[in-house]
Chain A
Amino acid sequence: MSQARFGRGDRVRVRRADVPGHLRTPRYIRGHEGEVERICGFFANPEELAFNRHGLPRRALYRVRFRQADVWPDYDGPATDTIDVEIYEHWLEQA
């Protein structure tokens, strides 16, 4: 198991990838920038598990917090509203 690449408070961007498979990164959040809220731990990669592979090495999973106003241009609510999404490290890049 490796070290987590990002730490709490780091600014990250979700990769804007369009790949087939059993993905756990929702499309609406791809390409958006947020802040690491916490490191959830290391888990077997669900994108591999879905195809009956072992999913190893385990991947770091983060909770990333996004400002709703950044995610939805027409968001109807205060600027303090946020959305937290669980995202695997291989879907994140430094912002």
Chain B
Amino acid sequence: MSGHTHHDHHDHDHDHPHPTQPDVDGPLTYHQRLEIAVRELMIEKGVLTADEVRRTVEAMDARSPAGGARVVARAWTDPAYKQTLMTDPSRALNQVGVEVGLYKLVVVENTDAVHNLVVCTLCSCYPRAILGLPPDWYKSRAYRSRAVREPRTVMAEFGLEIPDDVAVRVHDSTADMRYLVLPKRPKGTEGWSETRLAGIVTRDTMIGVAEARLP
């Protein structure tokens, strides 16, 4: 691209072509057509309203990793809560007012000896109830196939080098479980409040491609 700013565009003659963002209105896939047909039928028959559909999509899009971060921060500061989280995650989530969703959660803890990484090789199973929508890379074929086969290389590409004396445990979320990585609490956070701690627990630390660290 040339070096001029967007503003400059309005001050010169358009004697050269500018690249345009391609439209994404190609032919619909089978499942897109099916979704539209079922949705329109249900609205026509009065089962749902268009506004209800919109509100549900809005609520799904609004989910964020904040719930997971709150759970991790509480586990870092309260040993009894951590015990509950490891043995009965549904109860632990309820205790902090995080909705569990349909699936059973498995919490895997990072320690000085073990690092956990989560992937779903078959599709993109992800603990949406506590982490929100998965990142695009999590759903990519490259991540799904490589995270099981060469997890250390994949993590290194995310900037995370795991030493050889730490075991890497990959969890393939193939069926009815969903996974939350409990990252290690970084040194230097002694005495921090739960809210402050939750601020450094990012989505990626709870998938396992990053470690929690000081800002």
B91 on the A face (CB < 8 A): no
The B interface is mostly helix, strand or loop, or mixed, namely mixed
Is A43 within 8 A of B176, CB to CB? yes
Chain A 60-95 residues near chain B, CB threshold 8 A: 61, 63, 68, 72, 75-78, 80-88
Is B121 within 8 A of A81, CB to CB? no
Is A63 within 8 A of B168, CB to CB? no
Chain B 142-188 residues near chain A, CB threshold 8 A: 148-153, 164-165, 167-177
Is B172 within 8 A of A83, CB to CB? yes
A interface bracket (residues with beta carbon within 8 Å of B): 20 to 34
Which A residue sits closest to B113, measured CB to CB?
Answer: A80
How many whole Å from B19's CB to the nearest CB in chain A? Answer: 40
How many whole Å from A4's CB to the nearest CB in chain B? Answer: 15
Is B177 within 8 A of A86, CB to CB? yes
How many whole Å from B152's CB to the nearest CB in chain A? Answer: 5
Interface residues of A (CB under 8 A from B): 24-26, 28-29, 40-41, 43, 46, 61, 63, 68, 72, 75-78, 80-88
